[in-house]
Structure 1
Amino acid sequence: MRIVVATEARLQQNEDGRVLTPNPAAGYPTWASYLGVFDEVLLAARVARGAAGDQDGIPVEGAGVRVLPLPTFQGVAAYARRWPALRGALRRAVAELHGPAADTAFVARVPGLVGTVLLSELRRRRVPFGLEVVGDVAEVLADHRPAALLAGQLLACQCRSADAVSYVTRNVLQSRYPARPGVPMMSCPGSLLEDEDFVPLPRRAPGEWGTTGPGHSRPGRPVRLLTIGSQERVYKGHDVLVDAVALMRSNGLPVMATIVGDGRHHDEIVRRAVARGLGGDVRFIRWLGSRAQVRAALDDADVFVLPSRTEGLPRVLAEAAARALPAVASAVGAWSSSCRRATSCRRMIPGGSRRR
């Protein structure tokens, strides 16, 4: 039996036909995890043609996993323009894959535009489907209340229509977007960590840090901050971290930040850092090409920062914890209750660089 998984991941196909992603969380190992139950995984995702000579990225396809390429778009306006082509591609895929043998299961990762179009077609054909709820769209759109209300209602309706629902939270998203009575609901955080992702012992604070605060000396070297996340939308809060670094530097605190991420807001965030005079204090890396590079970045940092305006249960925070890296994160989503129990994690109110 095979499974079709609709995802918001944007992939790239290079000249030799390989489908690649800059995001380790969207690479082959993530999708291969379904092979424990299914014989084949078909990934319904947007695929763009790469530029000549572009060979960088993490493979998506492999044994048992292949991609069903969909028309690419970026942003709501482009989605509106490409919607007919996207709907047509998904209609053809469902018609081809859902035959009399019914040997195909359908799952959509929501919230998401690709998943929403697929669900519309599945409901039209009365085909059963499952959902993986990976975030709260109402929090993502919190600054646009009418849009947040409509998107939240849509996600709630999708969950009530599903035949099985998994959530990345233990109870937060379940309480906001429940399935209808009698439908299986489960908690699947989705953070697949391997033995090599863990360190055996807690890390010690650098000796040159000393004790900070009123009446105490300041760190003898800059404190190295790290954040990792998509810049496709602003909810990861990288702009907030830039403002926070500027504020700390203006108060004489020696800090430096590394921001890892790419997306349509990347140049905007870089310009924000330059405008605040942080050209030498904030380093930007578009992407890390392997799990080993992610581990190296975490090991080189002193504090991991997650300034998100919304979250589910972010994988990267679990990865930071596995490397014994202290974290400061905004109090949103499912991870907040986990952080409450962790001695190396501090929570902050989302959206403000001056919060303490």
Structure 2
Amino acid sequence: MKVLFVHDHRFAYIDNDYYSPGGLPNTVWSRYLNYFQEVVVLGRTLTENNKEKLTMSSRDRVTFELLNYLEAHANTYRYKSRVKQDIKNIIEKHNINAVVARLPSELGYAVIDVCREIKLPYAVEVVACAYDAIANYRFTPWYNYRNLAIKILAPFSYRKMRRYVGGAEHVIYVTENFLQIRYPANSTAIVSYASNVELPNFEENVLNNHISLLEEKKKELRFGMIGNVDVLYKGYDITLKALALIKDEIPPFKLYLVGGGKGDAVRNIARELGLIDNLVFVGKLRSGPQVFHFLDKLDLYLHPSRQEGLPRSLIEAMGRGCPCLGSKTAGIPELLLVESLHDTGDHKKLSAQILELINSKEKQINAAKVNFMKAKEYNMDILAGRRNVFFSSFYKSVIEKSK
């Protein structure tokens, strides 16, 4: 039995192997290979030659099929008929028995259309909010006409995703509540939830070491964020505005940004706010040890995002014992205590929260302990068990329909 995994994710082909920017490492395919003999991955091409910046996605029993004419998302609409025909060809070429469509993604919607047409079983993974992904995106400058266009497009994307999720017989969400409410499955569907974030079982010494770091007296504080620095809905402007309000009330600090992108817009904002000397662009780090080492050095992790599913970087920061502050966006309130949350876009509230934490070692240490314990819920063994029940049910339904 073979399964086709479909998402708009980009992969780079380097030295006969496929690489991901980080979201789909080769370990992720195990969840499907537990039931299917082979996984075929359908995605888009990524132009990148430096594999040191990427994560290996290739492994045995996994084949990649990339569409190289979808550089821009708009091309999915432009080549709609071609995309569907290519999907049919890939299904026939590999003798596909079932499909997993990760949403929101235009390739995901297209493959569901094909599945319905040819009566092929499919399951849906809901990993983010289509509305937030569009409505909260920002082009610069603020008067760019595309900002108005995305405001108009967002409600259509929301209704489209509700329709596709609602029509699926098997749906698994990355959140416990948020995405289920926005994009409900139909009453007869098999439904589950399991975050895409899978943490190893961190030992208590991880927490103890971070508490020791928080207790130290420092000449300079280290704040951190993780995400592509050109994706402004991650809230870099919110963080910078918050820090600008209190820069004279707290010790010297640096804001370290981990992730790809050039960061020109972020630099401009920092320069306008007088924080350009406080900004450090780290660049990309490999998931796992490199990211964990970065997090282990932070006094505070900030996640004021305008759009999310359930943020991997925030859970990883919590799992390393970092005090964290975040917005009330998507699944973030499922992770942090109420006192660690601010309304989306409210830089004044975030500013006050940063000041309160920095001025209290007791609150920093308590936040580190609470976050560390919460992150244990995302242990890979716990999530794998829940996910296995879902995919076992899906696999059995595929077998039944193939008779």
Task: Answer yes or no: same fold by TM over 0.5.
Answer: yes
Question: Please, which of 272, 277, 280 is the counterpart of residue 277 of structure 2?
Answer: 280
CA RMSD of aligned residues (A): 2.6
Q: Which residue of 1 aligns with 2:174?
A: 168
Answer yes or no: is the 8 Å Cα contact 1:199–1:324 preserved in 2: no
- Counterparts in 2 of 1:77 and 1:272: CA distance versus 1, 3 Å: farther
Q: Which residue identity lines up with residue 164 of structure 1 in the other structure? A: H
Matches within 5 A, 1:92-103: 92-98=89-95
Question: Please, which of 190, 197, 200 is the counterpart of residue 196 of structure 2?
Answer: 190
Question: Please, which of 344, 349, 352 is the counterpart of residue 355 of structure 1?
Answer: 349
Matches within 5 A, 1:194-213: 194-195=200-201, 199-202=205-208, 203-204=210-211, 206-207=214-215
For 1:277 and 1:237, locate their aligned partners in 2 and report how far apart those are by CA, in whole Å: 18
For the pair 1:242 / 2:235, whether they are aligned, the reply is no
Q: Which residue of 2 aligns with 1:130?
A: 123
For 1:238 and 1:64, locate their aligned partners in 2 and report how far apart those are by CA, in whole Å: 40
For the pair 1:64 / 2:61, whether they are aligned, the reply is yes
The runs of at least 4 consecutive aligned structure 1 residues that moved more than 4 Å come to: 78-85, 196-200, 250-253
Structure 2 residue matching 1:262: 3-state secondary structure? coil
- Counterparts in 2 of 1:234 and 1:72: CA distance versus 1, 3 Å: farther
Residue 166 of structure 1 and its aligned partner are, at CA, apart by 0.3
Q: Which residue identity lines up with residue 98 of structure 2 in the other structure? A: A
- Counterparts in 2 of 1:129 and 1:232: CA distance versus 1, 3 Å: farther
Q: Which residue of 1 aligns with 2:331?
A: 334
Percent identity, aligned pairs only, is: 25
- Counterparts in 2 of 1:268 and 1:198: CA distance versus 1, 3 Å: farther
CA displacement, residues 198-238 of structure 1 (integer Å, 9 cap, x when unaligned): 745343263455xxxxxxxxxx5332111112356432222
- Counterparts in 2 of 1:62 and 1:316: CA distance versus 1, 3 Å: same
Answer yes or no: is the 8 Å Cα contact 1:22–1:288 preserved in 2: no
CA displacement, residues 25-68 of structure 1 (integer Å, 9 cap, x when unaligned): 321112233222222221111123544xx342221111222212
For 1:195 and 1:160, locate their aligned partners in 2 and report how far apart those are by CA, in whole Å: 35
Question: Please, which of 24, 27, 30 is the counterpart of residue 26 of structure 1?
Answer: 24
- Counterparts in 2 of 1:17 and 1:253: CA distance versus 1, 3 Å: same
Answer yes or no: is the 8 Å Cα contact 1:238–1:259 preserved in 2: no
Matches within 5 A, 1:49-60: 49-51=47-49, 54-56=50-52, 57-60=54-57
For 2:200 and 2:80, locate their aligned partners in 1 and report how far apart those are by CA, in whole Å: 39
- Counterparts in 2 of 1:231 and 1:201: CA distance versus 1, 3 Å: closer
For 2:331 and 2:46, locate their aligned partners in 1 and report how far apart those are by CA, in whole Å: 33
For the pair 1:226 / 2:224, whether they are aligned, the reply is yes
- Counterparts in 2 of 1:200 and 1:223: CA distance versus 1, 3 Å: closer
Under a length normalisation based on structure 1, what TM-score does the superposition of the two structures give? Answer: 0.84
Q: Which residue identity lines up with residue 27 of structure 2 in the other structure? A: P
Question: Please, which of 176, 179, 184 is the counterpart of residue 185 of structure 2?
Answer: 179
Bigger mean CA offset, 59-68 vs 139-148: 139-148
For 2:67 and 2:111, locate their aligned partners in 1 and report how far apart those are by CA, in whole Å: 11
For 2:258 and 2:297, locate their aligned partners in 1 and report how far apart those are by CA, in whole Å: 13
Residue 136 of structure 1 and its aligned partner are, at CA, apart by 1.1
For 2:113 and 2:230, locate their aligned partners in 1 and report how far apart those are by CA, in whole Å: 24
Specify every segment of 5 or more residues in structure 2 that has no aligned partner in the other structure, as ranges. Answer: 137-149, 351-403
Under a length normalisation based on structure 2, what TM-score does the superposition of the two structures give? Answer: 0.75
Q: Which residue of 2 aligns with 1:40?
A: 38
Residue 280 of structure 1 and its aligned partner are, at CA, apart by 2.5
Answer yes or no: is the 8 Å Cα contact 2:224–2:302 preserved in 1: yes
Q: Which residue identity lines up with residue 21 of structure 1 in the other structure? A: S
Answer yes or no: is the 8 Å Cα contact 2:326–2:332 preserved in 1: no
Q: Which residue identity lines up with residue 351 of structure 1 in the other structure? A: G
